[in-house]
Amino acid sequence: MNTYIKIITAALFIACGIPHANSAYNDYTITPKSSFVQSVYKINGNCSAVAIDENTLLTAEHCVSNKNTGQLFLDWRGDEKVPYVLIKSDKSHDIAEIEIHSSSVHLTPVKISKAPPSETDRVYIVGYPAAQMRILSEGYYSTDADVNGMRHYSTGANAFGGNSGGGLFNERGELIGITSKVAAVYHHLSLFVPLEDINEFIEN
């Protein structure tokens, strides 16, 4: 059973952009052109989101808080924007679902994993740090973290400002978490909405 870490609220920073000492792009089977990497998009100019079908994406609730609409950026069209609408959200678990309506845009969806990560599994973070280009970072799943009663996955893989709402993926390129927070008190561990909460949110 994973060890739970108690983390105080004051030590949390939303995707605060603290660098970590892990490398990126050094697994020959995973590249910035891998399909799961292409499933992550920039929204609102300051956050990320993960496509789960051709029109629907998951993101962090704090990225769309108090916003029923917003903009999805299309890198391959010179940052052309398409509008999205907020379908549902869960503030306590920091997860939200958004949807685009465009006959000319079809998103690249990711497969959602059927199994949670195990300790020391290699994982990948994909997002738009500093709202710039899409970045793939590599690390290892660390443990579970209990943040004010809410369970998160944690890893030392790179997470920067703008990664919020992006994805955490396993070595098969399957979605296992949504980027939520960075905890400075524990050596800047990145925190993620866990797979179990993702599945429950989608089903409900």
| Tens digits of residue pLDDT in 91-106 | 999 999 999 988 889 9
Sign of CA dihedral 135, 31, 41, 39: negative
CATH class of 4-32+110-203: mainly beta
pLDDT of the residue at 12: 35
Please give the pLDDT value at position 186. Answer: 52
Residue range 72-94, pLDDT digits in tens: 998 777 778 999 999 999 999 99
Task: Tell me whether the CATH fold assigned to 4-32+110-203 matches the one assigned to 41-100.
Answer: yes
Both tokens of residue 81?
């924007």
**108 near 75, Cβ under 8 Å?**
no
In the prediction, which pLDDT does 39 show? 96
pTM for the whole thing? 0.83
Residue 61 and residue 89: Cα distance in Å, rounded? 6
Looking at residue 64, its amino acid is V
The answer to whether the Cα torsion of 14, 168, 143, 115 is positive or negative is: positive
Domain ranges of the chain: 4-32+110-203, 41-100
Architecture of domain 41-100: Beta Barrel (2.40)
pLDDT of residue 121: 92
Q: What is the DSSP letter of 36?
A: H
Question: Among candidates 145, 127, 150, which has minimal Cα distance to 185?
Answer: 145
Q: What is the mean pLDDT of residues 16-37?
A: 54
Find out whether 200 and 151 touch, Cβ atoms under 8 Å.
Answer: no
CA atoms of 138 and 130, how far apart (whole Å) = 18
Give the integer Cα–Cα distance in Å for 147 and 141: 17
| pLDDT on residue 24 | 41
